[in-house]
Structure 1
Amino acid sequence: MIGKRLKKYRQARGLSISQLSAQSGVAKSYLSFIERENTCNPTVHILEVLASVLGIPVHWLLMDDSMGKLDSEWIALVNKAIDIGVTKEQFKEYLFLKNQFNEIH
């Protein structure tokens, strides 16, 4: 299932296998091998590198889908926020203020 999740996050980020390969330093053929879900257990180091390039936590590549999931629209929104420079602190502040506003009204 790692391969399926890797492909989902790669595509949500708008990257081809070639682009992910170039940015991560992981061979394109190996990425393709992982995504096709051949018998393959990528190392934690490889998963960390790929997750870093994709802008996601490593556990998202390892997490069973039944544990929760983000659809591609959420992933695209989060990536857009990251791309335009929204910090975690700014996002937390927005959620806090939004919650305060909702409690008042």
Structure 2
Amino acid sequence: MLGAKIRQLRKEKGMSLGELAERADCAKSYLSDIERGVRDNPSIQFLEKIGTVLHVPTEFFIDKTYTTAQALADQVAPEMVEIVKELDLGWLQLTKQAAESGLTQEQFKEFIEYAVWKSKQTAGV
């Protein structure tokens, strides 16, 4: 399961196995073993490196509720597939967590507006 998630996300990002291994500073053979399920217990440091390159939080690999854009697209209407594939999964998961915590859309919008305002105040704009 873990290896399949890495492979799917790597392919969605248009990266070769070698490119991901090089950018994450890990052995291509080790990454290949993980993707194929030959090895199934990588270190947290390995997952952090891979996550950084693929732009997903480390939790993506550990938490079963995190999914790839393609897996999510497979669950939605055909006309939504391209939109879903372009979503940043970190932002999507954050939005999901906000909703699950009980925040309304209006409260979430207010928080964003406050964060933007605060950022401008800090920057002296």
Identify whether the pair has TM-score above 0.5, normalized to the shorter chain. Answer: yes
Separation in 1 of the partners of 2:7 and 2:85? 13
Q: Which runs of 5+ in 2 are unaligned?
A: 71-81, 90-107, 111-125
Q: Which has the higher contact order (CA 8 A, sep 6+)?
A: 1
In structure 2, the residue matched to 1:76 is 86
What SS class does the counterpart of residue 77 from structure 1 fall into?
A: coil
Corresponding residue pairs, total: 80
TM-score of the two chains, using structure 2 as the length reference: 0.56
Q: Which runs of 5+ in 1 are unaligned?
A: 80-94, 98-105
**Is the aligned partner of 1:17 residue 2:17?**
yes
TM-score of the two chains, using structure 1 as the length reference: 0.65
Question: How high is the sequence identity, in percent, across the aligned residues?
Answer: 30
**Aligned-residue CA RMSD (Å):** 2.2
Q: Give the drift of 1:8.
A: 1.1
Residues 59-98 of structure 1: pairs in structure 2 closer than 5 A: 59-64=59-64, 67-72=65-70, 73=82, 74-78=84-88, 96=109
Q: State the structure with more CA Rg.
A: 2
Amino acid at match of 1:77: L
Amino acid at match of 2:87: L
Separation in 2 of the partners of 1:54 and 1:41? 19
